[in-house]
Amino acid sequence: LSKLQDRVPPVDTAAIKEVIKNDLKKPIEEIFDYFSEEALAAASLGQVHRATYKGQEVIVKVLRPGVEEMVELDLKILKFMMRMINTLVESHHLKVLINVIEEFSRIIRQEMDFLLEADNAVRFRENFQGNDEIIIPEVIHQVNTKRVLVLKHYQGTRIDELDQIKEKIDIDLTIHKLIRIYGQQVLLDGFFHADPHPVNILVDEAGRIILLDFGMVVTIDREVRKELVRTAIALAKRDYDRL
Which residues are part of the catalytic machinery? 195
Distance CA 201, CA 214 (A): 11
DSSP letter (8 states) at residue 90: -
- Count helices and strands in the chain by DSSP H and E runs: 8, 11
Sort strands 148-152 and 56-63 into parallel, antiparallel or unpaired. Answer: antiparallel
Distance CA 152, CA 113 (A): 19
Query: 3-class SS at 38?
Result: coil
In sequence order, what are the residues at sequence separation of 6 or more whose Cβ sits closer than 8 angstroms to the Cβ of residue 99?
A: none
* Cross-strand partners of 48: 41, 61
Distance CA 243, CA 239 (A): 6
- Report the run of H or E that residue 84 belongs to, with start and end: helix 67-88
Which has the closest alpha carbon to 117: 46, 35, 199?
46
Distance CA 52, CA 70 (A): 31
Distance CA 203, CA 164 (A): 11
